[in-house]
């Protein structure tokens, strides 16, 4: 268990999916934020305030853009960079456009963001 990531909060955090599984989010480190119960599901949470949800999504998107700085990547490279299960990523990228097994940076980020960009 980790501490809540909200500045000034020292409570233990619960794992929050930034891109919810229902939105196509996967289980990988960059898609998690640890939030105490109040910051996870309370009135000042991404589940109750759209602006907080969008801020977390934009932060994640920027981290992905920093991580994927080359123009193209193969699926094994994507797996290595984000540490996701090979089977889950193969399924996620089955419908993502690629050229000779190489995926464009923008398409990778969009897929990992649940099919959207923010």
Q: How confident is the model over 17-34, as pLDDT tens digits?
A: 999 999 999 999 999 999
Q: What are residue 3's phi and psi, to 5 degrees?
A: -75, 155
Q: Determine contact, residues 33/47, Cβ cutoff 8 Å.
A: no
Could you tell me which of 15, 45, 20 has the C-alpha nearest to residue 33?
15
Integer Cα distance of 81 and 115 in angstroms: 19
pLDDT at position 1 over 90:
no
**Would you state the pLDDT for residue 34?**
97
**Would you state the pLDDT for residue 101?**
95
Q: What are residue 50's phi and psi, to 5 degrees?
A: -60, -40
In sequence order, what are the beta bridge partners of 118? none
């Amino acid at each position: 268990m980790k501490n809540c990531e909200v500045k000034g909060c020292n409570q233990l955090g619960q794992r929050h999916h930034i891109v919810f599984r229902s939105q196509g989010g996967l289980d990988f480190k960059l898609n998690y934020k640890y939030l105490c119960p109040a910051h996870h599901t309370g009135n000042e949470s991404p589940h109750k305030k759209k602006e907080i949800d969008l801020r977390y999504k934009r932060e994640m998107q920027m981290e992905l853009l920093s991580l994927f700085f080359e123009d193209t990547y193969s699926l094994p490279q994507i797996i290595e960079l984000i540490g996701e299960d090979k089977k889950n990523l193969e399924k996620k990228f089955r419908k993502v456009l690629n050229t000779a097994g190489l995926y464009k940076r923008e398409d990778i980020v969009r897929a990992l963001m649940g099919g959207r960009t923010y």
